[in-house]
Amino acid sequence: MARKLEELGHFPKLISPQFVRPFVKSNKNDFFDAEAICEAASRPSMRFVQPRTESQQAMRALHPIR
């Protein structure tokens, strides 16, 4: 999806779930997940991850990692 958004002229920023986890305050549900993502994304020190290329995704599909 990130690649498609880039093709359309948008600049998606992806956050790894491990970087969002510290901002979750309560039991997991969609509302709290969205709140934690917003809080994490608003931090100036947040590290974003690069979208995988098609070749990287194809390689991961061949060699699944648990």
Query: In total, how many domains does the chain have?
Result: 1
Among residues of the chain, what percentage have pLDDT more than 70? 95
User: What is the rounded average pLDDT of the residues 43-49?
Assistant: 90
pLDDT band at 59 (very low <50, low <70, confident <90, very high): confident
Q: Which domain holds residue 43?
A: 2-62
pLDDT band at 66 (very low <50, low <70, confident <90, very high): low
- Kindly give the residue spans of alpha helices, DSSP state H, lying in 1-66: 2-7, 17-20, 30-41, 54-62
Q: Is 54 left (phi over 0), alpha (psi -120 to 50) or beta?
A: alpha
Residue 38 has a pLDDT of 93
Please state the pTM of the whole predicted model: 0.65
